[in-house]
Amino acid sequence: MGIIQVLIDERKGRKVARGIYGLRTLGTVRVLLEAKQSGLIDSILQPLESMRENGYRIHEDIVQAALRQAGEAF
């Protein structure tokens, strides 16, 4: 069986998933970056802005790092 990956954004949940269950965790920002790299979406900026406008909490440092990685930094 291959590596099992789980989508978890909450820090404590990631720690439990990795430490106790040995799972590989990834967050929504990583999924957006991979979607852009695969050509599934053109930009990560609009989805990130929409998420934040609808109550999704994500630190500005993470947003800026992701935008730089995606080649979308201002």
pLDDT in tens, 2-44: 677 899 999 999 999 999 999 999 999 999 999 999 999 999 9
- The residue range of the domain holding 58 is 5-69
Residues in Cβ contact with 48 at an 8 Å cutoff, skipping those fewer than 6 apart: 29, 32, 58, 63, 66, 67
Number of domains making up the chain:
1
User: Residue 74: inside a domain, yes or no?
Assistant: no
With respect to residue 23, please indicate whether it lies within any of the assigned structural domains: yes
Report yes or no on 64 lying in a domain.
yes
Estimate the share of the chain in helix, then strand, then coil, as percent rounded to the nearest 5. Answer: 50, 10, 40
DSSP state of 42: S
pTM assigned to the model = 0.84
